[in-house]
Amino acid sequence: MKTVFMINQELNVGDRVKLLYMDGETYIEPGTEGTVVKSFELFGTKQYGVEWDNGSKLGLIADSDAWKKIEPKKLDEAFNEDPFYQNIDTFKFFKMKFFQEFLKKLRECGVTNMFGAAPYLYMGRQRMEVDFNYNNVESYVCDDVLDMADKAQSEMINGVIKYMNENNKEIEIEKVNRNVQKFATSIVVLYINLY
């Protein structure tokens, strides 16, 4: 039986939560855990006050942050089945909100199925236009994908460079390319599991 993992679940005071992504914040690392101390809505957006285990008290905003509610563990539960824990670097170094939107539009465009989507994250607009013309694909959604293509390519490269720098890996073009492909696949797998 496949376990379903959900992000941004509704939280209550006292719930434990694990940060997956916080927009614009660099001193709360993805993977940090905390306890919800307040729940409220502001301007139609759900927000939570959290006391993080690292001492921070930054809140979560449903429209821009990503989290996972920590459920009490059963003794026989296997951690290695959880795609979030397996792919924490993907959340840490890549803008998953952007890639979620990009992959959603790519799926609507219909040029590929999700199992073949990884190369579209890094091929860029020029190469993508050739692919779209070859496959005779035209729609306003595909135009949106083309408009986002160079940013997707840039975000992939920047995320890989950050990952390699933090892990003291030598920046060589072959290694960057290999990691871009690896993380593009991870992003697509997470997208398929989450959405």
181, 166, 176, 2: which is closest to 83 by C-alpha? 2
Q: What is the pLDDT of residues 138-159, one digit of tens each?
A: 777 788 999 999 999 999 999 9
C-alpha triplet 119, 124, 127: angle, nearest 5°: 85
Q: Which are the contacts of 96, defined by CB distance < 8 A and separation ≥ 6?
A: 20, 21, 66, 90, 187, 190
Q: What is the pLDDT of residues 106-125, one digit of tens each?
A: 998 888 888 889 999 999 99
Q: What is the pLDDT of residues 40-94, one digit of tens each?
A: 888 888 889 999 988 888 888 888 888 888 887 654 454 455 556 667 788 889 9
53, 6, 47: which is closest to 29 by C-alpha? 53
CA distance 176 to 171: 7
Q: Where are the alpha helices (DSSP H) in the chain?
A: 83-86, 88-93, 96-109, 124-134, 140-166, 173-194
165: tokens are 């720098």
Q: Can you give the pTM of this predicted structure?
A: 0.59
**What pLDDT is attached to residue 43?**
83
What DSSP state is assigned to residue 72? P
**What pLDDT is attached to residue 2?**
42
Q: What is the pLDDT of residues 123-139, one digit of tens each?
A: 999 998 888 877 777 77
Spell out the domain ranges in the chain.
Answer: 16-78, 91-194
CA distance 37 to 51: 7
